[in-house]
Structure 1
């Protein structure tokens, strides 16, 4: 059975996500990820000359006695360490858009809950910052291993009615992520200007960043012909419009062009994005996390 198939069988159907790292963790707390450097415990990696890792406790007498040049050898291990996992969540007003009675923010909250559970299972710490015009301190949490506290913050996020007129704090949140490399999930519909997206990505690109795009189906759901009222959730402005098939197709083409430009922007700074449709597809998510 392939690695992807095994992950689907183990995680996809049970609502469990499994993230993996392509880099070696740094830190002092034990965990489940490959760490940088050598250690006295962990997974056996190799036998190396004593001069490279002078530690008599790891001396391998059998290998040393067999060396024709009298070289002493020690066992080198690869440490297993934990990492800090963070969620940066856009809580601007556009995240209140609902489809099938679920807002984008509720879907992001569901994702964060599964992510926090995965971090707890892996021995990692989890932190969350709710980002509007400023960081909402009452719905934010620095890296933490207390499962009850994390669950409370995620529950508050899922019930929040977002009203902020911007997501500027996604950029300033980079100041809270200083230090060793972290795994960062960036949640947004990314409907703000592309220049702002680029600034956000540049600010946090030193970390392993996974953009999670909450798709917007408001245009696709419009009729091919009819009358409708359009609302800008960020500004609250509304206007009456007559929808025609040609106008709808032009809007859909503009959305597709924007999507292509966004994908190129993500690829330049961080990972390719994971796009969430009308529901969170756990199987597709686990496949993405394994293959990214």
Structure 2
């Protein structure tokens, strides 16, 4: 009996970068490979990753894959020119109108996260390129310097999921007492958040599955492409200083409908609503 295969679509998305100076993050991919096989329909592409937030995606290409688990996904960076033949190939666009090149220690990113192709399903594999974890920033005497994170951090900062097996947690945040200038919501597997460890180091909240900036007229957030499981939500306050957004403190919140924000159970295709009110700081 022939092995069952599925035409599998590959997409890319992003979790937002926490930096008010950044207008856009542009990354040029020369190739995308699964088990050494290049995606069909893919050509060299320059992607504005920072625009692909709140569940927005860009389709990269397709492959006919057997129903199975896969752990070999490679993103190949072009480090010379972008898709239009211009330099730099990978860069940060800053609010002051300048570009800063993003340099990588390796051209090939071997993603450590695996994914599953499901038999008989419309498989859409989402590559979540988390800019918080994959871009580093160091403050020089006159301006900040940006770069890709180390190869190991870069590979660990990209997760891959089958959209068929994911859900979403969305909601609004009421902060009537103005406890925070900017609020970012982080999703962690239940019981894994360690406040001391996660608010220190070069990459803060490094073990969050994904994050979302509270924004819009309704102060909403959307945590997308979460695999089935139980999650705890962490709400953090950020302050803007000289154009840079920096972590200030954790926020104390309560659900407006009595949900346990430390144990939200999510199943595939479920959109869970978790509206909260900020009651103080921690």
- Asked whether the two chains share a fold, i.e. TM above 0.5, the reply is no
Q: Which has the higher strand share?
A: 2
Q: Which has the larger radius of gyration?
A: 1
Q: Which has the higher helix share?
A: 1
Q: TM-score range by the shorter chain?
A: under 0.3
